[in-house]
Amino acid sequence: MNAVVYKEKRETIQTLQPVSAGGRVPQSGTRLGRYRLQKALKQGGMADVYLAYDEYTGRAVAIKLVHEQNANIALFSREIRIMRALRHPHILPLLDAGQWGGYWYLVTPYIAGGTLQDRLEQGPLTLEEAGFVLERLGEAVQYMHEAGIIHCDIKPANVLIDEASHIYLADFGIATLEGESSKWHGRVMGTPVYMAPEAISGTVSRQSDIYALGVLLFEMLTGQVPFDGTDAYEICTRHLHEEPAKPSLFNACLPRAVDRVVLRMLEKDPEERFATPLVAVDAYADACNSLTLFEYTRQAFSTMVGDLKSHYETMRYARLRVRECGPVPVV
């Protein structure tokens, strides 16, 4: 197996040098031209992201930046070029990019709604909710592939959801142009939990993104990933040599047709996966529309049980409040 360097098993490649290498870590109130940094949003392996105020537009924005002496600056420059080439409703747009005071930066809209990862911490999605996210991501990834770009890091933390439930695919820090090497200084880049077997071996293609979408779909439907472990090496070994379990083993409400779609997206052989992201999206929609009477009844019953449990908890809380506070007087 190729050497793979990670910060954590669910995070991307560890930085080869501190993000602020060559300069002080920016503080709140620091100005980068028209932008005033307000607070750090994310400290990643490749760059740091800040919430900032755009004094020209009066709007909140997100600024991703690295110091010009950082070893990752070439990757950052490539990310800016790739983002400039992308224009899609479900891809986080680039608003501005440049250099200021020893730092390179790129600016995107600030999405206040959070990430898909935040949403999944509350539990799995329904078939319909998962389909909603998958369709929009599929459209974005298909657009990227037709432009000759492979994302290479599709995961819940890189899927943003605004307050109107609009989906954005974000973070192109390790995106690769088709035909280019996916390695950086001889090291494989990616997030172990979402990496395709061939990506772990150092080769990526469009099918690698379809595999990552399959992991994402598995996680949306079950609340867990198909392959996990105590460290990156164990996870990568499982991707390479183990077959994924059926999602329905973790969520009995899932129809068998959905199992088949997810497992095909997770095939070890890239040629055995769906041809394109949108073909996978269509297959998932067809699977959801082909519920047998038994599966439909089981799903409806599960929903009813969930509603009853929620109702029971509400009534139980009300009774406890009455005991603590006494009955409400009638006027």
**Degrees to nearest 5, angle at CA 235 with 12 and 171:** 20
Query: What span, in angstroms and rounded, lies between the C-alpha atoms of 289 and 276?
Result: 20
Residue with tokens 């998932």: 284
Q: Which of 48, 54, 118, 153 is catalytic?
A: 153
Residue among 190, 235, 196, 225 at smallest CA distance from 212: 196
273 Cβ contact partners less than 8 Å away, ≥ 6 residues apart = 207, 210, 211, 214, 264, 265, 266, 267, 280
271 Cβ contact partners less than 8 Å away, ≥ 6 residues apart = 207
154 Cβ contact partners less than 8 Å away, ≥ 6 residues apart = 137, 141, 169, 194, 209, 212, 213, 216
Query: What span, in angstroms and rounded, lies between the C-alpha atoms of 217 and 204?
Result: 20
**Catalytic residue status for 54:** no
Amino acid 279 reads V
162 token code pair:
């605004």
308 Cβ contact partners less than 8 Å away, ≥ 6 residues apart = none
Give the active site residues: 153
